[in-house]
Amino acid sequence: MTPAVLSALSQTNSSSTLNGLIPFPPKPQNSKQNIFLKNKISRRDIASLSFSFSFIALSPFLSPIAPASAFSIGISGPKDWLKEQKRKSSRFILAPIDASREILRSVYLSLTARDSEYTNKDLEEIQELLRSAARDCVPQERNSLVSFQASTGVEVCTFRLIVKNAASLLDKKDPVKLEAEAMLNDLIRSFTSLNGLASETDIQLSSNREKVVVALMDTISVLDKFEQGVKECLEV
């Protein structure tokens, strides 16, 4: 290269830096490239601003509502709503208890309404009614299918399922729930005793029938207490 060309290149390199530290960015090659960069930046900025405004507009809905605010505008929580639904369906939850009580009363009338002799068929019918009233909660009275389900971990005792349903929204150590579970255990023991007595006692004798009647009345009393415990869980 000629001395003039070398001198021009040296001046260009020195003027494109600030004391040799930061090079200046190259100029756009033409006006079309400059317009393209402006359009690209504008679209990016607009998209960013649109997202920012959208987030600001949605932020009141995305932020959690304090409990006081929920109550102040009259909106109840999901737990309160579930409690109300349970109260509305309480008669369906309590229906098996009422049905068992009616069965026990019919057996009571059968054992006290006459003094005539009882046949083996009468005894079988009474035993079957008592098994039905126990709602698969007496292990000795369960059929093969129910026993298989119980051995596999499937709950089959209707009264136990009723307590689980009624107390599902209560804390594990809630006194109301614990009381209902204690009444459930008393009820199962009462049905177990009653069904065992009816199976082993010769009801042909009036004295034996009286024993069954006394156990039956005790079971009805325990069933009434159990029903009240379930109602307290349901708050009805």
What's the confidence (pLDDT) of residue 142?
A: 62
Of 232, 222, 119, 104, the closest CA to residue 166 belongs to 232
Counted residue by residue, the chain has a size of 236
Which of 28-32, 223-227, 231-235 shows the highest mean pLDDT?
A: 223-227
pLDDT tier, 13 (very low <50, low <70, confident <90, very high otherwise):
very low
pLDDT of 20-32, one tens digit each? Answer: 444 444 554 554 4
Report the predicted TM-score, pTM, of the whole model to 2 decimal places. 0.64
Q: What mean pLDDT comes out for the span 141-168?
A: 80
The token pair at 17 is 């830096």
CB-based contacts of 162, cutoff 8 Å, min separation 6: 93, 94, 96, 97, 230
Examine the pLDDT at 53 and tell me if it is beyond 60: no
Which of 110-114, 167-171, 206-210 shows the highest mean pLDDT?
A: 167-171
- Nearest-angstrom CA–CA distance, 137 and 146: 10
pLDDT tier, 178 (very low <50, low <70, confident <90, very high otherwise):
very high
What's the confidence (pLDDT) of residue 120?
A: 84
- Nearest-angstrom CA–CA distance, 202 and 83: 48
Q: What mean pLDDT comes out for the span 221-235?
A: 96
Residue 177 vs residue 154, higher pLDDT: 177
Q: Where are the domains of the chain?
A: 95-234
pLDDT of 77-91, one tens digit each? Answer: 787 888 788 888 889
Q: What mean pLDDT comes out for the span 187-214?
A: 91
What's the confidence (pLDDT) of residue 149?
A: 66
The residue assigned the tokens 């126990």 is: 134
The token pair at 162 is 């009723």
What's the confidence (pLDDT) of residue 17?
A: 40
